[in-house]
Amino acid sequence: MAGGTIIARARRSSGLSQRTLARLSGTAQPTLSVYERGEKSPTLAVAERIVEASGYDLDLTPRVSFAQHACTRGEP
């Protein structure tokens, strides 16, 4: 997921306007708009600051996958 998509999702979910989120996060509204449109990518630190200002956390979640292996009963 691109940084701008994450920022836009967090902002919309919070019910904030770009102007309000820009003020809360210390970012200029035109810059926030550019991020949301994907024309420029924020650094991870900037994306985290903006997302947190919208009331969300930027977090890592481990990816878990399972594999099915065929074996004969009694054999490892």
Percent helix, percent strand, percent coil in the chain, to nearest 5: 50, 0, 50
Q: Is the pLDDT of residue 69 over 90?
A: no
Q: Which residue has tokens 């701008």?
A: 4
At 43, the amino acid letter reads: T
Q: What is the mean pLDDT of residues 55-64?
A: 91
Residue 29: φ, ψ to 5°: -60, -45
The answer to whether 41 touches 16, Cβ cutoff 8 Å, is no
Q: Is the pLDDT of residue 73 over 80?
A: no
pLDDT in tens, 1-51: 565 689 999 999 999 999 999 999 999 999 999 999 999 999 999 999 999
Q: Is the pLDDT of residue 54 over 80?
A: yes
- Name the helix (H) or strand (E) containing 45: helix 44-53
Q: Which two tokens stand for residue 20?
A: 């309000």
